[in-house]
Amino acid sequence: MGGDHGGAAASLAARVRHVEALLEQRGLVDPLELDRALEAFLARANPDNGARLVARAWVDPGFRARLLLDGNAAIGEVGVSMGGGLQEQRLKVVENTATTHNVVVCTLCSCYPVALLGPSPTWYKSEAYRSRVVRDPRSVLAEFGFALPDAVAITVWDASAETRYLVVPRRPEGTEGLDERALADLVTRDGLIGVAAV
């Protein structure tokens, strides 16, 4: 695990806020227009975006390989993005298997792929989750009602200002006859974070 939660990205964010305030003070930028742009972004940001990516990965092995290799490039094929902005975050996609389970956290704040998962849940931002899932992920997952066999290795990925993570959960057995849309309906935000099965 690792990640830079400060450094260049934090400095850039502070400079952006400063420039935005100056532009507003001088009447060059309408703060209401900025609010409208943010609201429009958030209206498009929801877990359905991530669910569509997972469903496509389940039915299309080529897309799955591209998604795991370069998440940012692959998500455009499904018509979604990380949300743009001055600095596009890197999307790292990790896949659960029969022997490996992935879970995502941001230990220092709450970095999270909002465009793909919608607003982050309260528990994701809580200090209890952020600290405990790193030390004892198996127990934390059990508290979510998701018990994994001891033989399954758990990897915890620490998101940062530069890199966001998305988990491709295991495809449920017995879903071979479902189309992509029906498969996407099975995927939850918690599954995309790695605290639930699909």
The model's pLDDT over 159-174, given as tens digits with 9 standing for 90+, comes to 998 899 999 999 999 9
Encoded amino acid at 146, one letter: F
Residue 111 known to bind ligand:
yes
81 catalytic residue (yes or no): no
Provide CATH code, domain 7-193: 3.90.330.10
Euclidean distance between the first and final Cα of the chain, in Å?
A: 25
> What phi, psi does 140 have (nearest 5°)?
-65, -45
Question: Considering 11, 106, 120, 131, which one is annotated as catalytic?
Answer: 106
Question: Nearest to residue 165, comparing CAs of 116, 129, 124?
Answer: 116
Domain ranges for the chain: 7-193
Q: In the chain, at which residue ranges do the beta strands (DSSP E only) sit?
A: 90-95, 100-105, 153-158, 163-168
| Distance, CA of 14 to CA of 22 (rounded, Å) | 13
Residue 131 known to bind ligand:
no
Residue 11 known to bind ligand:
no
139 catalytic residue (yes or no): no
As a 3-state breakdown, the chain gives helix, strand, coil percent values, each rounded to 5, of: 50, 10, 40
> What phi, psi does 95 have (nearest 5°)?
-120, 135
Question: Nearest to residue 72, comparing CAs of 171, 1, 136, 165?
Answer: 165
Task: Tell me the pLDDT of the chain (198 aa) as tens digits.
Answer: 444 445 544 555 567 677 777 877 888 777 777 666 656 555 566 799 999 999 999 999 999 999 999 999 999 998 888 875 545 689 999 999 999 999 999 998 878 898 899 888 999 999 999 999 999 999 999 999 999 999 999 999 999 988 999 999 999 999 999 999 999 999 999 999 999 999
Question: Considering 81, 111, 131, 139, which one is annotated as catalytic?
Answer: 111
